């Protein structure tokens, strides 16, 4: 076996033939991909040299070296990969009112036929556990080997929903088999019953280098905003939709925080893949893990086959609408319009994967823009959080026609594309100029940079900050809305500093 270091990711090859084939394919993709920065990639000959040098170095290394320990094989799966009777991949989501309910999902092996969750008021005295009430979970089996990239394991996913909870209350809970295989006790706080300030974290594509590179980013985000009410994941959580090892890395990266802070996740294009290794001509399917591990509300009006990929969550006076940009774009139009009306939320935030205004080359999403942007304009959506382009871009549209004022800082909707993982593209040379007729203006961009965002919401303002993994501020603004619904935007002075690019950052 051979290990090769490719952009800081270790790839395991079973033979030199397989390694050489990877080199040829890698160079082919590089030469065909116009998005790749030619300054930061290798020529074919240099790539092959690096491959063989890497192979020689690893062959000479001892079996106990750090490189060898970072590899993965079917014989020695990573410790977070194989299920056991003990609960793992414990995660909070919402399938009901966040003020009075909370859903939790977890995984075990098939020896656990029935799952249970216990919940109690989180009192300071350790005897709180004696007052716990039990809820039986829904249990479903998932055969991982229905997708080519997985071992022939069958796992059990369990889902429990706590209901009739009190608003703004701290609860403790644990999950397990109802006997002796219990998790530790976790805590969560229900939402307030009505408008109130809160904060949350937003990240774009994790996708690549999840264990090695995304871990530090998402943990830094938690350190920066530990009181976050939820985390928005704007698609491409993993690179290969069905590959369970990658989902294991995603859960491992955030660890116990998944069990404390609910996730609001939407699927990206990398959550859709064929079940077979040969993808050409094969239908793409939503990740086999998606619905077992993400429990979201399914209404009668939810478009067919889009359950738990488009949904609405109302949280303390803000409406969050999650959309699926990969499937049923036209079918979601009527549903989306119904969710943009008939509510009394002070703020409306949308999240989906493919951006309305692209920030990387050759990635324009005209069908989605034509389908949804008229509705976003019509109902004056406040904030749109997206991913996909592996760059950073933040901008806004002009104020609605007929609602303009003399204030030069007045805006319509604010749009953000961001990336949190290790895969990077170049920004468009024309930035957002192609979207000028749509009223779009970009304020801040970045490439070759991992970012996370914290967002603080109050009755009249949204305070937005984008940070580097180090915790250094990169972009920030305050969006203010007056009693008449007129919005103005104030940029932080940090936006006047040079933008990050491939030219002024470390080689990719």
Closest by CA position to 465, among listed 428, 501, 490? 490
| CATH 3.60.21.10 boundaries in the chain | 198-496
- Report pLDDT digits (tens) over 397-444: 999 877 888 899 999 999 999 999 999 999 999 999 999 999 999 999
| Residue 90 CB burial class (10 angstroms; 0-12, 13-18, ≥19) | buried
pLDDT tens track for 222-246: 999 999 999 999 999 999 999 999 9
Instruction: Spell 106-131 as b/e; 16+ CB within 10 A means b.
Output: bbbeeebeebbbbbbebeeeeeeeee
Fold of 198-496: Purple Acid Phosphatase; chain A, domain 2 (3.60.21)
The answer, yes or no, to whether residue 217 has pLDDT greater than 70, is yes
Q: What are the tokens at 446?
A: 């970045």
Task: For residue 75, name the pLDDT band (cuts at 50, 70, 90).
Answer: low
Work out the number of other CB atoms within 10 angstroms of the CB of residue 194: 10
Place of tokens 């985000």: 221
**Domain 88-189 superfamily per CATH:** Purple acid phosphatase-like, N-terminal (2.60.40.380)
Spatial separation of the C-alpha atoms in residues 497 and 269, rounded to whole Å: 33
Residue position matching structure tokens 């990336």: 419
Residue range(s) of every CATH 2.60.40.380 domain in the chain: 88-189
pLDDT at 32 over 90: no
pTM given for the model: 0.86
What is the DSSP secondary structure assignment for residue 94, as one 8-state letter? -
Mean pLDDT computed over 242-263: 97
Task: With a cut of 80, say whether residue 66 has pLDDT above it.
Answer: no
C-alpha span between 270 and 504 (Å, rounded): 29
Percent of the chain with pLDDT over 70: 85
* Consecutive H or E run containing 53: helix 44-60
């Amino acid at each position: 076996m051979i290990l090769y270091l490719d952009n800081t990711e270790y790839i395991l090859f079973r033979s030199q033939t397989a390694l050489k084939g990877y080199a040829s394919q890698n160079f082919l993709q590089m030469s065909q991909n116009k998005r790749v920065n030619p300054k930061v990639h290798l020529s074919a000959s240099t790539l092959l040299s690096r491959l063989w040098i890497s192979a020689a170095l690893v062959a000479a290394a001892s079996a106990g070296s750090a490189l060898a320990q970072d590899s993965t094989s079917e014989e020695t799966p990573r410790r977070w990969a194989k299920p056991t009777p003990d609960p793992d991949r414990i995660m909070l989501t919402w399938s009901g009112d966040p003020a009075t309910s909370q859903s939790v999902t977890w995984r075990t092996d098939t020896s656990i036929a029935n799952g249970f969750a216990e919940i109690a008021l989180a009192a300071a005295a350790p005897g709180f556990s004696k007052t716990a009430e039990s809820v039986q979970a829904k249990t479903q089996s998932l055969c991982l080997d229905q997708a080519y990239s997985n071992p022939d394991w069958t796992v059990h996913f369990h889902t429990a929903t706590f209901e009739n909870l009190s608003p703004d209350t701290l609860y403790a809970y644990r999950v397990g088999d109802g006997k002796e295989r219990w998790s530790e006790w976790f805590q969560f706080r229900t939402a307030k019953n009505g408008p109130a300030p809160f904060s949350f974290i937003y990240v774009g594509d994790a996708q690549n280098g999840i264990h090695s590179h995304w871990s530090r980013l998402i943990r830094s985000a938690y350190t920066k905003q530990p009181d976050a009410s939820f985390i928005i994941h704007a698609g491409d959580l993993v690179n290969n939709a069905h590959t369970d090892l990658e989902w294991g890395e995603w859960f491992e990266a955030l660890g116990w925080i998944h069990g404390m802070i609910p996730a609001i996740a939407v699927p990206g294009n990398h959550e859709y893949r064929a079940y077979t290794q040969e993808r050409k001509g094969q239908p793409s399917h939503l990740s086999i893990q998606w619905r077992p591990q993400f429990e979201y509300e399914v209404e009668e009006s939810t478009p067919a086959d889009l359950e738990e990929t488009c949904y609405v969550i109302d949280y303390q006076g803000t409406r969050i609408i999650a959309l699926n940009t990969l499937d049923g774009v036209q079918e979601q139009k009527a549903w989306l319009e119904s969710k943009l009306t008939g509510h009394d939320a002070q703020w409306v935030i949308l999240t989906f994967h493919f951006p309305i205004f692209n920030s990387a080359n050759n990635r324009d999403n005209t069908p989605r823009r034509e389908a949804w942007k008229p509705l976003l304009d019509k109902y004056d959506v406040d904030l749109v959080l997206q991913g996909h382009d592996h760059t950073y871009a933040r901008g806004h549209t002009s104020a609605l026609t007929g609602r303009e004022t003399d204030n030069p800082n007045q805006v319509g909707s604010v749009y953000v594309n961001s990336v949190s993982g290790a895969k990077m593209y170049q920004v468009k040379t024309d930035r957002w100029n192609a979207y000028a007729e749509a009223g779009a203006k970009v304020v801040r961009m970045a490439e070759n940079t991992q970012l996370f965002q914290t967002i603080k919401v109050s009755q009249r303002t949204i305070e937005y900050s984008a940070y580097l993994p180090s915790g250094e501020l990169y972009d920030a603004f305050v969006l203010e809305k007056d009693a008449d619904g007129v919005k103005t935007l104030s940029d932080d002075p940090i936006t006047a500093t040079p933008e990050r690019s491939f030219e002024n950052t470390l080689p990719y």
